[in-house]
Structure 1
Amino acid sequence: MNSLEGVVVQIQGLSSSAGDISRLHVILKQAEESLRSESTRLSPILNQLDPSNHSLGYLYILEACTSASVSKEQAAMLVPYIARFISYCAPEQIRLAPEKFIAVCKRFKDQVMLLGTPMRGVAPLQAAVRKLQNSSEHLTTLHPEFLLLCLLAKCYKTGLSILEEDIFEVDQPRDLFLYCYYGGMICIGQKRFRKALELLHNVVTAPMSSINAIAVEAYKKYILVSLIHNGQFSTSLPKYTSSAAQRNLKNHCQPYIELANSYSTGKIAELEQYVQTNEEKFESDNNLGLVKQVVSSMYKRNIQRLTQTYLTLSLQDIANTVQLNSPKEAEMHVLQMIQDGEIFATINQKDGMVRFLEDPEQYKSCEMIERIDSSIQRIMSLSRKLTTMEEQMSCDPQYLAKAGRERQRFDFDDFDTVPQKFNI
């Protein structure tokens, strides 16, 4: 039974029913060491198995095949096998050995990166996430791996498809940090700055006993995206932010906080000078492109401020006030802002005048009503979910035990520090 041929026979004969698959699982566990010792001879065996019918056995063979380091040539041979397996494997079988499925998928990600073809891994890893998930609310260890490949392959829209789902169940805290960080970067790539801020905010404010590199890098991008999207940044973090983050994040991101301070003055020349002085730092952080977007956004903010003061203004006056090089450049900025819905205005090409308008949205169209209704339905769903989670937590033995200990401590403290009473 320890021979490879015997294992193949068992896989082929015990993959038809739930009872047989349970027996096969026991046999495969016993043969695990011998499979790994024969890892160099296993790849031909894969041709004798069907990944859809023999998913559990196929998984054990693949895991053993990829357990040792592989060369570029070996990766080129294994990648098609793994991609086909992920696409066709039966979820109920691979969930019997989720740790092995995760290991194979992570090695698959490493192999497509070794080959320099991250695009080849995007669709298979998206399928792997779906097959490993218990529900769409479950954040698996493969979520960050998938989003990383989307980033490397610049498949931002594919990554967005998974970021729209609300997450309530997390396997490992590190998975949440990476999921939100990579997700924030994907949203930045798609100019979805509001969603990017939400995800980066989750990283910065997540519970942590000590500061970590992911949170530091997320905070740097959080500052930059706040300036681009909101035109301002506050160093104050919410009360629920961990004390480790409250104490240390600012110290690790001082150049970015100083950038925000320079931005708040509204003086484009000073901002550009600061960026030029610290260009090497921003480039080493791979944030120089985002910093340049911050500089560009200041022109927009200064133009938006003009709409609060003037009803009409010439393109020359806009160029002078905002410190643009020419009326033509001012016209291009204004046109782009009108197209993006950032201001409401009309341009008279004949006399070079810009007329600023009020927001024409009356919030009574069918489309707007549908959007509002959709938002209300989502909020109601989230409220029900939070109520359910609160009820489950209130019945959790570990939570009750800890709450009981805390209650005793506070009761004792209150007894020793009874507040003085006054007659009024």
Structure 2
Amino acid sequence: MGGGMNLNMNSAESLVAQILGLSGGSAKDLAHLHHLLKQSDDLLLSSDSPPASLLSQLDPSVHSLGYLYILEVCTSGPISKEQSGEVALLIARFIEACKADQICLAPDKFISVCKRFKDQVLLVEAPIRGVAPMLTAVRKLQTSSEQLTALHSDFLLLCLLAKCYKTGLSVLEDYIYEVDQPRDFFLYCYYGGMICIGQKQFHKALELLHNVVTAPMSAVNAIAVEAYKKYILVSLIHFGQFSTSFPKYTSSVAQRNLKNFSQPYLDLANSYSTGKISELESCVQTNKEKFETDYNLGLVKQVVSSMYKRNIQRLTQTYLTLSLQDIANTVQLKSSKEAEMHVLQMIQDGEIYATINQKDGMVRFFEDPEQYKSCQMIEHIDSSIQRVMVLSKKLSTMEEQMSCDPLYLSKVGRERHRYDFEDLDSAPHKFNI
């Protein structure tokens, strides 16, 4: 019996010897090592040498593939809260050091280890510790910046929880054209939308939330419902209106069902359209509990604030000068002080052009000075045109490939149930922050 145990120990040790010998070699050596590692899970689990002691013999920056396999076994069991910090640190160091060309041979193992890393930093309630390593993991896993990985949504979730919105934006600036799993795309756009909301980049937030609401789906899923609620609120903040009609390309499932789950939000949009602050306030009070449960009360308050702004903006179209007290009375603010705060904030955000005379409390309105002649505006228009051209070219290439692919042509029409999401009733709050 002792001999058998010894044999196991030798096997684990001999595996380490293979990792040491083959990691730095040719692609052929790595492929051979990969073949050996694929068969090593049982061996590592039954070995007398604990997998953690095997790791200490390896260098993650040189023996990345072997280290990954052993690390995955090390972290597969239950991990106590006390051990979480240590495990998170071990994985973070591996992510930082590992070679992209080696871990890309076993992407599923790498994804699995990185998702455990996310779980550990959340367990010790330190999401900020996961942000930088997870960004590194995304970049190492990607074959190009246009590819959406299974780790994008985990990275964005950590950014949200740690309030590192700017870091999250760095990934949202990439244009994604390659998606493997629809669910990854849904979460990427949903969390991405929330990050843009956190940075008050409402236009980009609407773009991302729109992607979720209009994406193909064969059953309503919780992510789409939550995205639709936020889409309504952000539309009101950004445009001052919301259209309940869906674009033609929206799935019939979404068109039929999303509104049923979002009635309080549609009521809010309805009362917003009246332009009466009292109606809006009363709708907020009626549905306050629901908005709170959905973690949307902060956004709802911004909707109310945006109605005051809209009403002040309307005044600028009619009057050249107005007193702060007149503004307060007209838009139903409590005092001239409150009116002053709104006006100052709007001047600062470039939403109106005005000056306030502190002496007599008068506000003087001006025309918008932007004539679309600034270098910044020209650059912005130019980069938009470039982007559309690139996208158009890509779509043409993809269309050509698809129209020539007999496999694709034979499948069209038969594929109606490709998108397999969790049912709405199963934990919709999983996606709320």
Pairing 1:46–2:42 present: no
- Residue 120 of structure 1 deviates from its aligned partner by 1.0
Q: Partner residue of 2:23?
A: 15
Pick from 14, 35, 52: which aligns with 1:26?
A: 35
Instruction: Determine what percentage of the aligned residue pairs are the same residue.
Output: 76
Pick from 361, 365, 368: which aligns with 2:377?
A: 368
The 1:162–1:319 alpha-carbon spacing in structure 2 relative to 1, beyond 3 Å, is same
Q: Partner residue of 2:309?
A: 300
Pairing 1:352–2:335 present: no
| Structure 1 residue runs without a partner (length 5+) | 407-424
Secondary structure of 1:308's aligned partner: helix
C-alpha distance in 2, partners of 1:334/1:39? 72
Does the 8 Å contact 2:240/2:310 carry over to 1?
A: yes
- One-letter amino acid matched to 1:10: Q
Does the 8 Å contact 2:233/2:299 carry over to 1?
A: yes
Q: Partner residue of 1:315?
A: 324
Residues 366-407 of structure 1: per-residue CA shift (max 9 Å, x gap) = 23222222222222222222222222222222332356999x
Residues 96-129 of structure 1: per-residue CA shift (max 9 Å, x gap) = 1111000000011001111111111111110111
- One-letter amino acid matched to 2:185: L
Instruction: For 1:10-159, list aligned pairs within 5 A.
Output: 10-17=18-25, 18-38=27-47, 41-159=50-168
Residues 251-300 of structure 1: per-residue CA shift (max 9 Å, x gap) = 00001000111111111122112212211111111111111111111110
Pick from 372, 395, 401: which aligns with 2:404?
A: 395
Residues 107-160 of structure 1: per-residue CA shift (max 9 Å, x gap) = 110011111111111111101111111101000100001101111111110000
Does the 8 Å contact 1:197/1:226 carry over to 2?
A: yes
Does the 8 Å contact 2:168/2:192 carry over to 1?
A: yes
Pairing 1:175–2:187 present: no
Does the 8 Å contact 1:118/1:149 carry over to 2?
A: yes
- Residue 311 of structure 1 deviates from its aligned partner by 2.2
Pairing 1:232–2:241 present: yes
Query: RMSD value over aligned CA atoms?
Result: 1.7
The 1:339–1:71 alpha-carbon spacing in structure 2 relative to 1, beyond 3 Å, is same
Residues 198-239 of structure 1: per-residue CA shift (max 9 Å, x gap) = 000000000001100000000000011111111111111100
Instruction: For 1:185-264, list aligned pairs within 5 A.
Output: 185-264=194-273
Secondary structure of 1:354's aligned partner: strand
The 1:216–1:335 alpha-carbon spacing in structure 2 relative to 1, beyond 3 Å, is same
| Structure 2 residue runs without a partner (length 5+) | 1-6, 416-433
Pick from 269, 274, 277: which aligns with 1:268?
A: 277
C-alpha distance in 1, partners of 2:45/2:118? 20
C-alpha distance in 1, partners of 2:404/2:309? 52
- Residue 40 of structure 1 deviates from its aligned partner by 8.8
Secondary structure of 1:278's aligned partner: helix
| TM-score, normalisation: structure 1 | 0.92
Q: Partner residue of 1:409?
A: none
Greater shift after overlay, 365-374 or 239-248?
365-374
Greater shift after overlay, 364-373 or 82-91?
364-373
Pairing 1:325–2:334 present: yes
The 1:54–1:234 alpha-carbon spacing in structure 2 relative to 1, beyond 3 Å, is same
Secondary structure of 1:266's aligned partner: coil
- Residue 193 of structure 1 deviates from its aligned partner by 0.6
C-alpha distance in 1, partners of 2:22/2:227? 48
- Residue 44 of structure 1 deviates from its aligned partner by 2.1
Q: Partner residue of 1:418?
A: none
Does the 8 Å contact 1:139/1:170 carry over to 2?
A: yes
- Residue 353 of structure 1 deviates from its aligned partner by 2.0
Secondary structure of 2:38's aligned partner: helix
The 1:279–1:403 alpha-carbon spacing in structure 2 relative to 1, beyond 3 Å, is closer
- One-letter amino acid matched to 2:252: S
- One-letter amino acid matched to 2:270: N
Q: How many residues align?
A: 406
Pairing 1:6–2:14 present: yes
- Residue 19 of structure 1 deviates from its aligned partner by 1.7
Q: Partner residue of 1:164?
A: 173
C-alpha distance in 2, partners of 1:214/1:39? 45
Q: Partner residue of 1:422?
A: none
Does the 8 Å contact 1:36/1:67 carry over to 2?
A: no
- One-letter amino acid matched to 1:193: F
- Residue 242 of structure 1 deviates from its aligned partner by 0.1
Does the 8 Å contact 1:39/1:65 carry over to 2?
A: no
Residues 11-51 of structure 1: per-residue CA shift (max 9 Å, x gap) = 11111122211111111112112223459921122111100
C-alpha distance in 1, partners of 2:190/2:73? 32
Q: Partner residue of 2:430?
A: none
C-alpha distance in 2, partners of 1:140/1:308? 48
C-alpha distance in 2, partners of 1:399/1:57? 38
